[in-house]
């Protein structure tokens, strides 16, 4: 797959996102059947180029997803602007059968003008349609779920029937993992999937900046772990600059930093993470993971100075293997509850 567009490597926000997080906004999510004939990536890029300019003018922020032959668009901003956009977009021949699955006024989650994502899926278009219809009917009955929950129910659903999966949304333990160097978090997830006979789900995200690469994020569900199930999400370091990370960070109980022998690398990543946590006003537990020699006191001090809990998953001396890393991490996660 060709790479596209992504945010720069910093987590700086393009505009006054911090102010927004205290003010209620309109929130709407619709799903529609894609009529895109040809490379979806190219079409997403064309939509993005138009959307970034137009949406900013109207104070709108969007996340657009393509999966299973469907589009899902989550829009936040003034309700009148949202309705005007939906009316216009509904006429677009690149999709059809637009169904609203969420509409409400509440706290914003989208702090960047545009988030694009494409997810691989083993789900059929028919199964996806059933999810859409179930969420649409629930919305019509006035019993809709929160937008982040609706989005996940479509884009990265928990195992099981849509209603069961959506109901479990709030009780799952979500844990984000990042590595200070290379791809250790992704490698650990792949190893764990193999061990548990689970399956890693792959997603690619794009931001609103033109000329950078896109960012991947994988996840693995462990429904029998934790008190009510656990989802581990491996993120790339540059994902910290992405609106999608900001949107979903508040639902994470913990963020794991797979440390590096070079403490400077670990500290730089931690600093960036702490800034983003502050921006989205969320205080997950920060878990340092790695060999004893990779821990330096500054990690704990930096975290606690910002008011976040610091936990350590130590593997002892020497370069740790995946089994050691997971053993140490699981013990800490189980204690978190």
Ligand X SMILES: Cc1cc2nc3c(=O)[nH]c(=O)nc-3n(C[C@H](O)[C@H](O)[C@H](O)COP(=O)(O)O)c2cc1C
**Contacts with ligand X in 67-86 (CB under 6 A)?**
71, 73, 85
Helix or strand (DSSP H, E) at 315: none
Write down the least CB distance from residue 62 to ligand X, Å: 4
Write down the least CB distance from residue 34 to ligand X, Å: 7
**Contacts with ligand X in 155-194 (CB under 6 A)?**
none
Give the residue from 162, 155, 158 showing the smallest Cα distance to 172: 158
Q: Which two tokens stand for residue 37?
A: 């004939």
Helix or strand (DSSP H, E) at 103: strand 95-106
- Please state the separation of Cα 111 from the chain's center in Å: 13
How far is it, in rounded angstroms, from Cα 37 to Cα 280?
37
Kindly give, in sequence order, each residue whose CB lies less than 8 Å from that of residue 120, ignoring residues fewer than 6 positions away: 201, 202, 203
Write down the least CB distance from residue 136 to ligand X, Å: 17
Backbone torsion region of residue 310, taken as left when φ is above 0, otherwise alpha when ψ lies between -120 and 50, otherwise beta: beta
**Contacts with ligand X in 84-103 (CB under 6 A)?**
85, 88-89, 92, 94-95
Write down the least CB distance from residue 203 to ligand X, Å: 17
CB of 42 or CB of 92, closer to ligand X: 92
Q: What is the residue whose two structure tokens read 């993470």?
A: 273
**Contacts with ligand X in 14-73 (CB under 6 A)?**
47, 50-51, 54-55, 62, 64, 71, 73
**Contacts with ligand X in 223-242 (CB under 6 A)?**
none
CB of 113 or CB of 284, closer to ligand X: 113
- How many of the chain's residues bind ligand X (CB under 6 A)? 15
Relative to beta strand 25-34, strand 95-106 is antiparallel
Write down the least CB distance from residue 90 to ligand X, Å: 8
Given the rule CB under 6 A, which residues bind ligand X? 47, 50-51, 54-55, 62, 64, 71, 73, 85, 88-89, 92, 94-95
């Amino acid at each position: 797959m060709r790479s596209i567009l992504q945010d720069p490597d910093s987590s700086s926000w393009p505009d006054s996102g911090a102010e927004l997080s205290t003010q209620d906004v309109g929130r709407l999510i619709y799903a529609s059947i894609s009529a895109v004939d040809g490379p979806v990536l190219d079409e997403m890029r064309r939509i993005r180029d138009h959307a970034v300019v137009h949406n900013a003018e109207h104070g709108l922020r969007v996340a657009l997803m393509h999966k299973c032959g469907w589009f899902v668009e989550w829009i936040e901003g003034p309700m009148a602007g949202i309705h005007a956009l939906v009316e216009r977009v509904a006429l677009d021949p690149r999709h059809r059968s637009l169904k609203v699955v969420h509409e409400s006024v509440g706290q914003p989650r989208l702090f960047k003008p545009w988030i694009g994502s494409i997810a691989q899926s083993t789900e059929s278009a028919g199964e996806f349609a059933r999810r859409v219809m179930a969420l649409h009917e629930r919305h019509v009955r006035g019993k809709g779920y929160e937008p982040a929950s609706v989005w996940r129910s479509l884009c990265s659903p928990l195992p099981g029937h849509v209603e069961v999966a959506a109901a479990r949304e709030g009780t799952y333990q979500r844990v984000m993992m990042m590595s200070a160097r290379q791809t250790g978090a992704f490698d650990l997830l792949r190893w764990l999937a193999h061990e548990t006979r689970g399956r890693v789900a792959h997603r690619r995200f794009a931001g609103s900046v033109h000329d950078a690469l896109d960012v991947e994020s994988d996840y693995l569900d462990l429904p029998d772990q934790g008190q009510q199930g656990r989802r581990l999400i491996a993120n790339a370091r540059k994902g910290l600059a992405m609106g999608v990370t900001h949107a979903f960070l508040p639902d994470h109980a913990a963020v794991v930093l797979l440390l590096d022998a070079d403490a400077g690398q670990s500290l730089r990543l931690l600093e960036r993470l702490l800034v983003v946590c502050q921006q989205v006003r969320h205080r997950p537990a920060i878990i340092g993971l790695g060999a004893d020699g990779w821990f330096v006191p500054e990690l704990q001090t930096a975290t606690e100075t910002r008011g976040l809990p610091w936990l350590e998953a130590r593997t002892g001396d020497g370069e740790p293997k995946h089994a050691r890393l997971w053993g140490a991490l699981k013990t800490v996660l189980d204690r978190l509850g």
